[in-house]
Amino acid sequence: MRHFIDTQDFTKAELLDLIELVRLTKAADKQGALPRLLEGASLGMIFEEPSTRTRISFEVAMTRLGGHALYLRPGEIHLGVRESIKDTAKVISRMTNAIEARMLKHSMVLELAKYATVPVINGLTDYNHPTQVVCDVFTMTEHKLPGKPLEDIKVTFVGDTTNVCSSLMLICTQLGMHFTQAAPKQYQASVELQAMARKNCAASGGTLTITDDPVAAVSDADFIYTDLWWWVGQEAEIPDRKAAFMPKFQVNLALFSKAPAHAKMMHCLPASRGVEATDEVLDHPRSIIYDQSENRLHTEKAILIEFVYPHIRRPQQ
């Protein structure tokens, strides 16, 4: 049994197989031919933070696969108040076939996985967002220039080192792609994260560039990606963050026009429209933000098939 907590826990070949499974499950679903592999199975979904895409995609994926999902919010279960992570993990494991968890702290999802006896899927922490970036790379395979190998693709992330940025930097460098982050110096990837990504590059042939020049960063990009400039808990930093990022690091039409004519615009959503990106680029004909959102559903189906399906306990015939 394996958990899905961090793409770094998987090899390049395993990640490529998973992305291929996303393609297959999407095609099967579009043809109405998706097998109900999780018939009778249940997924416990713990959400310490709100979610639109992750919640809906996992819940609908379970339904499409013949299973059932339970949405578990703090205040509705005892986690963190009257019950430890250990007991919560052990109890949910006895009654469901898998746990999906969006936790405030990465250490909490690791602790959940330590005690769970069913697969745990990371639905976002303060450190990373692995399901999102598997979806993102799959979406890139759908929208890249025809015939262009994955190893030739350049992804430019403009903005803060969010959990999505960190995960995207790692998966792209694992897969031999070329990843650039353009951000003010104080918001660039940490030394530790850069070291991990450079180690990935050494193994995969990918490259990592960190710069505070967004125009140069987008000039040869196939995909331009951005994310929120602040998250829950960072409200006190909003004035400093706005001053550092605006206007130089906003993805607006002026910056987007510096990219190649085939470059696509990406955002994991939710977006603060008019802040990290403007309506003109988010709604641009070359924006693929809603394809990304839809592909979360196909990604979750593939993840559930890969990590949960082989381990479903069925009553003896």
**What does the H/E/C string look like for the chain?**
CCCECCHHHCCHHHHHHHHHHHHHHHHHHHCCCCCCCCCCCEEEEEECCCCCHHHHHHHHHHHHCCCEEEEECECCECECCCECHHHHHHHHHHHCCEEEEECCCHHHHHHHHHHCCCCEEECCCCCCCHHHHHHHHHHHHHHCCCCCCHHHCEEEEECCCCHHHHHHHHHHHHCCCEEEEECCHHHCCCHHHHHHHHHHHHHHCCEEEEECCHHHHHCCCCEEEECCCCCCCCHHHHHHHHHHHCCCCCECHHHHCCCCCCCEEEECCCCCECCCECHHHHCCCCECHHHHHHHHHHHHHHHHHHHCHHHCCCCCC
With binding defined as CB under 6 A, does residue 298 bind ligand CP?
A: no
Pairwise CA distance, residues 159 & 304, whole Å = 31
Q: With respect to ligand CP, which residue has the nearer C-beta, 125 or 132?
A: 132
Among 268, 282, 297, 304, binds ligand CP (CB under 6 A): 268
Catalytic annotation present for 102 = yes
Q: Which of 3, 53, 241, 296 is catalytic?
A: 296
* # binding residues, ligand CP (CB under 6 A): 9
Q: Which of 3, 53, 55, 129 is catalytic?
A: 129
Catalytic annotation present for 314 = no
Q: With respect to ligand CP, which residue has the nearer C-beta, 73 or 248?
A: 73
Among 132, 162, 163, 181, binds ligand CP (CB under 6 A): 132
Q: Which two tokens stand for residue 238?
A: 């909003």
With binding defined as CB under 6 A, does residue 107 bind ligand CP?
A: no
Catalytic annotation present for 240 = no
The nearest distance, CB 207 to ligand CP, in angstroms, is: 26
Q: Which of 102, 178, 241, 298 is catalytic?
A: 102
Catalytic annotation present for 268 = yes
Binding mask 50-79 for ligand CP (x = CB under 6 A): -xxxx-------------------------
Q: With respect to ligand CP, which residue has the nearer C-beta, 210 or 303?
A: 303
Q: Which of 135, 172, 201, 268 is catalytic?
A: 268
Binding mask 16-55 for ligand CP (x = CB under 6 A): -----------------------------------xxxx-
Catalytic annotation present for 241 = no
With binding defined as CB under 6 A, does residue 84 bind ligand CP?
A: no
Residues forming the active site: 102, 129, 132, 227, 268, 296
Task: Give the binding site for ligand CP (CB under 6 A).
Answer: 51-54, 124, 132, 268-270
